[in-house]
Structure 1
């Protein structure tokens, strides 16, 4: 019974992680992985005062937090009248002012997530959801009353702030913590009703470059776009972060920030100009030489919520962009955090010198954008190092709970491995432009993990093909191929005008690839992957239009590709063994031959070591 319960628990958890990974729900995926690996032990650290002195007294530490958050949240940001006058007036939406309906409130309660902190009032979300039949009427009356009077009860506005370490920088620095507001659950329900109204306005205001908190968009869109910009030109990138807020805060900030960008770049022509055309074949560059149907696209900013990257082709253009951006921030009452703002020049001899209000920005060789490492030389080595390190950490955390757990079946362990370790290892891999040596590094780690799960050592002399067959999985080369092709089909199905699609089908308006052997492009690895999956590179677009047909073709093609690769490796293995056997036949056999398997160990110490392991295999 205990064995069956343990297997069912891990199978359900693995399925939950896999569903989150397949649907692009990165947050849900990592929450479930944390459940699998166990919550880390909370560590406390001393805080530093403004003067830099360490504070150990609990009361003084609380006072330091009060001082820190008063500095962050007590200042009143005033937007200048000039900035307000420059914003284009949109047509009125009278429907947004109507009193909320019962249906809106009912929907807000239904989508309320469970398992969240209750806030200062102490009413958890489960109480609201379970008591919805009795509470729906009174809550709707209260909501309409608040709507008419323009005020809500004070306990819905009060928040309890908890601090979470960002896992970067000094633990004693208050700036390296994120303040999370625990709000009233009833207030969150009301806020979700307002959020539904605001979303209609946000969709009219958001620029195409904003992919945060929007349907059918995710981090992969912006990671892919930034990597494509690196392939096609020489960008400089700026990254800044801001505080998180309540349910309404992301949408409100998104609207506010979108208007700020419109004001900042209303007269700007700096950026990266591309020519793109998506109605031709991807691998036929002649389509961009047509006099019609080619669109000019200016890529200036890439946004995901409050993560921003500004790009330009020259240092001077970037300085002008940042000047406009800094001026707009002042007009809208925002402050740029110079400490976490970086600039990166791609393949430059002299590091760029970029300033904001006289402050020199730090030049970075690499930085993390939406969880993916971006390097100034287009290399994926740093990103692969980071992904292997994170996957190794997950592998180690699951050692006692899963890999060494004799109650779990091999099938369960492999499902946990694919759900937790592989999903961590391959985060963002659909956007990678990988060379063979980089794929080999990932494959070596993949096989090393499978050896550990299957309890196979080098002394067993089991081939990699046999390991993959025993595990019922495929090599990392084909796993990368499958993810890349699924992403390729997803981008192809996007509407024209989406930044990832424009970048995939576009090229620089002015410029040429360097002489010699150019760097590998994403198009090149896509073409290689299509051939690996037995899909015609000339006709794949017609197949990719239908999502189900495309996914079915990719899965079948990758399966055939793995079978072909396995046969080729087995043939090479047999040929190598035949050559070895021929050489052995030319040498007289020694006196140290294993009695169980007949292997010639050539020496007494080799025979003794081999016999112990060979007897164990015979017993098993």
Structure 2
């Protein structure tokens, strides 16, 4: 258990239990043994404290808040014991598409697969239809009786199912707002947000539902191939096919199909099956995206600026239309249908940190020198190769290559790349350049050893200490920049007088200091003040300032 976390209703913290040592361990063992044998809940364990966490949007709307349960730390310890006994069994049975709350999996896996699918389909100018599906209050909508039946189908013993039922029987909660508590109320449905076994229990239910959807929809996902004999270099004769229909992270779903008809069938089937099992699609947050596809001429050459007419989606769920979008934020990462790269200044963050703007005329090289940071290009090389090595090592529970590894080295053996498709670099092209940049000779062998691989890719990324005179250097650049601006203004406009805010430099509090009396002012205040300050007027006249 993590330290410095809020306790439950019994006010026993994890720090207190850790500090108790051997006596507390024996005391907990006695309690847990009794609960395990008798299958009866300790009184304080079934009461949760609900606190609100703001997500985004209008703070006046309750739907923009997520409720999280503060549970008894001792009950969470007992729940962890149960979870340790079912997690390995369940993970072996879950779909590989599910990455939520599973070891050695993360949101990056799903984002990488999605973006690489889009890149490879765009390279060959092939269609791709996607639907980003959101579930309304997923954890709160779980039907408990149905969940226990499904748990038994997944091989969880009756004893462990009874203990899980015990943790959810007669569960109550009270809301905490501004330090005050509401009256307690019963919770008869769902699993607790913040409960230790809740994520894996939801994964079990959702895995069962998704399997039903896939079976009934009977549609094909996006088809790819990888080498049969040589995994890294496939040929037109020796390859194996695989398809990707869904990407799952807990209750976040992405459905991908090669035809619009298949996607419509999947969405309608998903809505039907989820309704049958107690879940509900959030139509307002569900949206469709189609990959940008260009027209080709008779010679299979791309006709730029002429997009293929995409089919019109008219999907209505409970009298609400599913929206079609050009951009979507998936698991915190922006996804665009035309795959335009994110725009931004690579040194913007460093400039903000040290308080330097473009007007101060400090070069990017100088910023890197005084801050001791390596160039951003070098960091990108390192991070891309680090992920590439991780993808090459990824295997599933059956010791077979994972979907991440398959999509990394996938290709279309029977397709011909259209001509005149531009010179946009692929991810694999950038990886090849990174390998050459780091002078790695045998990446197949080296990437299998994680420690050795990290040594190779970290050679060129060395942080240096921050320059000891960084404040003086920044101040000098600002002073020179101000003097240069003053000179340019006077020369270009024939102005003999300039403004006081164009000469004075802001201090660390973002204020101007009067040169006459030393009082701090905001920009508007300093302009008015120098008109009345006698000493400041003398200084302004000598510097030809208005």
TM-score higher than 0.5: yes
Q: Could you tell me how far 1:188 is from its partner in structure 2?
A: 0.9
Cα 1:156–1:604 shift into 2, 3 Å: closer
Aligned with residue 210 of structure 2, among 261, 269, 274: 261
Distance across 2 between alignment mates of 1:327 and 1:603? 69
Q: What's 1:86 paired with?
A: none
Q: What's 1:504 paired with?
A: 408
Cα 1:281–1:155 shift into 2, 3 Å: closer
Alignment check: 8 A CA contact 1:451 1:457 kept? no
Distance across 1 between alignment mates of 2:68 and 2:274? 24
Q: What's 2:452 paired with?
A: 549
Q: 1:355-382 deviations in whole A, cap 9, x for unaligned?
A: 445542122221111111111111233x
Alignment check: 8 A CA contact 1:447 1:464 kept? no
Cα 1:377–1:604 shift into 2, 3 Å: closer
Distance across 2 between alignment mates of 1:318 and 1:329? 16
Cα 1:535–1:160 shift into 2, 3 Å: same
Q: What's 2:281 paired with?
A: 336
Cα 1:278–1:181 shift into 2, 3 Å: farther
Mean Cα displacement is larger for which, 128-137 or 510-519? 510-519
Alignment check: 8 A CA contact 2:236 2:414 kept? no
Q: What's 2:336 paired with?
A: 375
1:515 aligns with 2:404: no
Q: Could you tell me how far 1:152 is from its partner in structure 2?
A: 0.7
Give the 5 Å matches for 1:239-318: 239-241=133-135, 242-243=138-139, 244-266=193-215, 268-277=218-227, 280=230, 282=232, 284=233, 287-291=234-238, 294-318=239-263
Q: What's 2:73 paired with?
A: 185
Distance across 1 between alignment mates of 2:459 and 2:244? 37
Distance across 2 between alignment mates of 1:553 and 1:232? 28
Alignment check: 8 A CA contact 2:50 2:69 kept? yes
> SS at the partner of 1:500?
helix
Distance across 2 between alignment mates of 1:360 and 1:239? 13
Alignment check: 8 A CA contact 1:278 1:505 kept? no
Q: Could you tell me how far 1:558 is from its partner in structure 2?
A: 5.7
Cα 1:525–1:136 shift into 2, 3 Å: same
Q: 1:129-154 deviations in whole A, cap 9, x for unaligned?
A: 22242122332232222223333124
> SS at the partner of 1:482?
helix
Q: Could you tell me how far 1:185 is from its partner in structure 2?
A: 1.3
| TM-score normalised by L of structure 1 | 0.58
1:213 aligns with 2:158: no
Distance across 2 between alignment mates of 1:155 and 1:179? 20
> SS at the partner of 1:163?
strand
1:160 aligns with 2:65: no
Alignment check: 8 A CA contact 2:49 2:70 kept? yes
Q: Could you tell me how far 1:295 is from its partner in structure 2?
A: 2.2
Q: Could you tell me how far 1:278 is from its partner in structure 2?
A: 7.8
Q: What's 1:487 paired with?
A: 387
Give the 5 Å matches for 1:354-433: 354-356=315-317, 359-381=320-342
Q: 1:509-544 deviations in whole A, cap 9, x for unaligned?
A: 7644332134432112212222333335xx422221
Distance across 2 between alignment mates of 1:289 and 1:525? 24
Alignment check: 8 A CA contact 1:534 1:557 kept? no
> SS at the partner of 1:465?
helix
Q: Could you tell me how far 1:442 is from its partner in structure 2?
A: 3.2
Alignment check: 8 A CA contact 2:389 2:448 kept? yes
Structure whose residues are more often strand by fraction: 2
Alignment check: 8 A CA contact 1:491 1:500 kept? yes
Q: Could you tell me how far 1:279 is from its partner in structure 2?
A: 6.4
Distance across 1 between alignment mates of 2:53 and 2:287? 23
Mean Cα displacement is larger for which, 359-368 or 511-520? 511-520
Alignment check: 8 A CA contact 2:98 2:247 kept? yes
> SS at the partner of 1:296?
strand
Q: 1:443-469 deviations in whole A, cap 9, x for unaligned?
A: 2425534663xx69755x654323322
Distance across 2 between alignment mates of 1:134 and 1:542? 50
Q: Could you tell me how far 1:224 is from its partner in structure 2?
A: 0.4
Cα 1:338–1:602 shift into 2, 3 Å: closer
| TM-score normalised by L of structure 2 | 0.66
Q: Could you tell me how far 1:608 is from its partner in structure 2?
A: 12
Distance across 1 between alignment mates of 2:228 and 2:440? 20
Give the 5 Å matches for 1:26-45: none
1:535 aligns with 2:435: no
Q: Could you tell me how far 1:187 is from its partner in structure 2?
A: 1.0
Q: Could you tell me how far 1:213 is from its partner in structure 2?
A: 1.3
Cα 1:446–1:170 shift into 2, 3 Å: closer
Q: Could you tell me how far 1:354 is from its partner in structure 2?
A: 3.1
1:448 aligns with 2:393: no
Alignment check: 8 A CA contact 1:123 1:184 kept? yes
Structure whose residues are more often helix by fraction: 1
Cα 1:201–1:359 shift into 2, 3 Å: farther
Alignment check: 8 A CA contact 2:110 2:247 kept? yes
Distance across 2 between alignment mates of 1:543 and 1:278? 22
Distance across 2 between alignment mates of 1:341 and 1:380? 24
Give the 5 Å matches for 1:228-239: 228-233=116-121, 234-239=128-133
What is the count of residue pairs matched by the alignment? Answer: 398
Q: 1:205-237 deviations in whole A, cap 9, x for unaligned?
A: 211111121111111111101101111232312
Q: 1:370-415 deviations in whole A, cap 9, x for unaligned?
A: 111111111233xxxxxxxxxxxxxxxxxxxxxxxxxxxxxxxxxx
Distance across 1 between alignment mates of 2:403 and 2:77? 34
Q: What's 1:142 paired with?
A: 31
Alignment RMSD: 3.4
> SS at the partner of 2:458?
helix
Please tell me whether Structure 1 or Structure 2 has the larger radius of gyration of its CA atoms.
2
Alignment check: 8 A CA contact 2:129 2:291 kept? yes
Q: Could you tell me how far 1:254 is from its partner in structure 2?
A: 0.8
Distance across 2 between alignment mates of 1:279 and 1:166? 48
Q: 1:458-510 deviations in whole A, cap 9, x for unaligned?
A: 55x65432332232222222221111111111111112431111111112476
